[in-house]
Amino acid sequence: MNRFKKIFSSRGSKTNEELSKYIKKTTGLTPQNIDFYTTAFTHKSMGLKDDKGNSISYERLEFLGDAILGAVIAEYIFNEVPHGDEGYLTKMRSKIVSRDHLNELGMDFGLIALAKTQVPATNFGANVHGNLFEALVGAIYLDKGYNRTKNFIMRKVIKPYVDIPMLEGKVISYKSLLIEWCQKHKKTFKYHTYEDTGVNEVRHFSVKLSIDNRVVAKARGTSKKKAEEKASKRAYFVFQDKIQ
């Protein structure tokens, strides 16, 4: 029994055999080297290290999977939309591999059930689903090579989830859209963001968005970025007719 089987058979986690069956059922691929997949679902909170002292967690595979996924999506859009310029292609790729979209994929695949972690599930944010999906793609690439990984992405991501006409109208950043509109029409804007010291255990930030010295939207979020994006979305709907 190797170190990974010990990890996944403890505390109710899946054994190598169970994990292999789950991967085959979910992806249509039979794992050759199960270690890639066990790493893909191991959180750094486990504190595991390999024989050389390197940390064992899904983060490196997440990085690799992100790059492979981006390359396959880029090639698909390039071939599918021959009239698209560089700006269009970049925006479309961003929409397809957006964090929300990747989180949706991870949830649909049920990958959180495979995660080995010391962190309570309630402490994870939604992004863990997308992170695990990217790690899975990285594991498939190392195990099966580029062409088999590309085929998996085409079957399981592009065909069932990618609708280019629908995505063309999807907003991926209300903040970017709003700033672009303000600059185009010479309007002043300001995000006043500050830490919210309310009763919540989780740290929050509040933001007031002013356009032409008038507060048009307020929002709260668990980060400055999320609070500003939420306020921007609310402001967008205030000015939607003018922006469109």
Q: Is 134 a catalytic residue?
A: yes
C-alpha of 240 from chain center: 27
DSSP state string for 33-65: -HHHHHHHTB-GGG--B-TTS-B-SSHHHHHHH
Strand pairing category for 204-211 and 189-196 = antiparallel
C-alpha distances out from residue 244 to 201, 206, 212, 229, Å = 39, 27, 19, 18
Pairing of the two strands 189-196 and 214-221: unpaired
CA distances from 97 to 59, 107, 163, 202 (A): 17, 15, 13, 28
Tokens of 238: 């205030």
3 state SS of 206:
strand
Choose, from 50, 51, 85, 134, the residue flagged as catalytic: 134
Find the catalytic residue in 35, 66, 143, 229: 66
Residue type, 153: I
Residue 210's contacts (CB-CB under 8 Å, 6 or more residues apart) are: 188, 189, 190, 192, 216
Catalytic residue positions? 66, 134
